[in-house]
Amino acid sequence: MTSVYKKFLGEQGECAAMDYLIQRGYRIRKHHWRSRLGEIDIIAIKRRAIYFIEVKTRRSAAYGEPLAAISTWQRKRIIQSALGYLSQTGFEPEEIHFSVIGIRFSEAGPAQISFLEDAFEAEDSNGFLF
């Protein structure tokens, strides 16, 4: 699979994920938010909660389930980026969620979408759990 195709597939997955979220009452605040700490695929709001969302897209199960494809290193980068985003924007949500959306496209039918709203948690140096 070429890098251009992977990028195209990833963009398709992120668009499907945003449509999925919007249909369920989430407001998309940012798409592809970047900082020196990393990138967050989607930042969404629902009520006074903020969701930092990683999107994993697959064409088949050959490379494993999309939701299982997020590494410890990726989690750390997402958490660092999320804290940077909150610091930069001054947004003070009542809840913070680190989520993963798995998209599997198939030629046989519509995309299969899995949403793990609380995929992982973050803990700061004082033991405060987000």
Structure tokens at 72: 């410890």
Give domain limits for the chain: 1-13+36-65+93-130
Q: What is the CATH number of domain 1-13+36-65+93-130?
A: 3.40.1350
Amino acid at 43: I
One digit per residue, pLDDT tens: the chain, 130 residues?
576 666 767 788 899 999 999 999 999 999 999 988 889 999 999 999 999 999 988 776 656 665 666 788 888 899 999 999 999 999 999 999 999 999 888 777 788 899 999 888 876 544 445 4
Cβ atoms 86, 72 nearer than 8 A: no
Q: Which residue has the tokens 């969701």?
A: 51
